[in-house]
Chain A
Amino acid sequence: MTGWYLGALLLSLAGLVVLDARLRLFLWRDAVRGAAVLAIGDVFFLAWDAVTIARGYVSRGGADALLGVEVAPHLPLEEIVFVTFFGYLAMVVFLLAGRLLPGGRVGGRHQRGRGVSTDAEPVVRSPR
């Protein structure tokens, strides 16, 4: 079936979106900051792709799974979706880990003398 790779990617992406939205982890916590992070990540990984393609290390396969649409030589459309998905996955795993692991605070507010809160809504502590 043509295009099942893109389908699989979009399905996986949808799963991340649901998790993000439910737990308010990433884009559902700060959409602008999150979008910027994804955009920069995209540039970084697509640059990596561009280098490996230009040097001939990697080339597009002949799979039916691909739609066959190329954004650039040997760079299928699906790759844009993939790098975005991968960056999103990295952030969801990281922020989820930040909430679940002890020693909390990841990437933001530190309040000395009150302990650290995880990268989520501020921890509500009872008055001293």
Chain B
Amino acid sequence: MRGYLASGLVFLAVAATAAVVVVVRMRGPRRGYVLATALTALVLVVLTAVFDSVMIAADLFRYDAAALVGLTIGRTPVEDLLWPLAAALLMPALWTLLGPPEVDRGD
């Protein structure tokens, strides 16, 4: 597996683990959290596909072509889409993990 993808998958796995932990531990309905996370992922992936291309065209950063799979969306290497996916999984999980514990009042 090409290096850029491999290293990205490791970080994505960490983010995914955090999200899974949160969902598994959730006592109430999980649908809201999962839906919101999915929507966040979609929005971030689309934005990344667009803005990454712009940033690459502006020569803000460069890639070693040998490290890439070679598939792009516009100028965005597909591996770069792991970033917004990881953000959508990790950030809400951190917010939830750092938040107040769920109170099951049992009314």
A: residues with CB less than 8 A from B are 5, 26, 30, 33-34, 36-37, 40-41, 44-45, 47-48, 51-52, 55-63, 65-66, 78, 86-87, 89-91, 93-95, 97-98, 101-114, 116, 118
B83 touches A45 (CB 8 A): yes
Minimal Cβ-Cβ distance residue in A for B8: A48
Contact B102 A94 (CB under 8 A): no
Q: List 7 A-B contacts (CB under 8 A).
A: A33-B99, A44-B11, A55-B67, A90-B44, A90-B88, A110-B27, A113-B105
Chain A residues within 8 Å of B92, by CB: 90-91, 94, 106-107
- Give chain B residues whose Cβ lies under 8 Å from the Cβ of A48: 7-8, 11, 83, 86
A108 B100 Cβ-Cβ under 8 A: yes
Chain B binding site: helix, strand, loop or mixed by DSSP? helix
Bound state CA distance, A112 and B62, in angstroms?
A: 52
Task: Contact check, B40 vs A116: say whether CB atoms are below 8 A apart.
Answer: no
Q: Report B65-91 CB contacts with A as 1/0, cut-off 8 Å.
A: 001100000000000000110111011
- Of A47, A61, A94, the residue contacting B91 (CB under 8 A) is A94
| A54 nearest CB neighbor, chain B only | B7
Once bound together, how far apart are the Cα atoms of A63 and B84, in whole Å?
24
> Given A37-B94, A97-B35, A107-B95: A112 and B3 within 8 A (CB)?
no
Q: Which residues of A contact B98 (CB under 8 A)?
A: 33, 36-37
Quick one: CB contact mask for B26-60 with A, threshold 8 Å, 1 for yes? 11110111011101100110010000000100111
Residues of A within 8 Å of B28, CB to CB, are 105, 110, 112, 116
B21 contacts the other chain (CB 8 A): no
Q: When the two chains form their complex, are residues A91 and B91 in contact, meaning their CB atoms are under 8 A apart?
A: yes
Complex formed: what's the CA distance from A98 to B52 in Å? 26
List the A residue with the shortest CB-CB distance to B96: A107
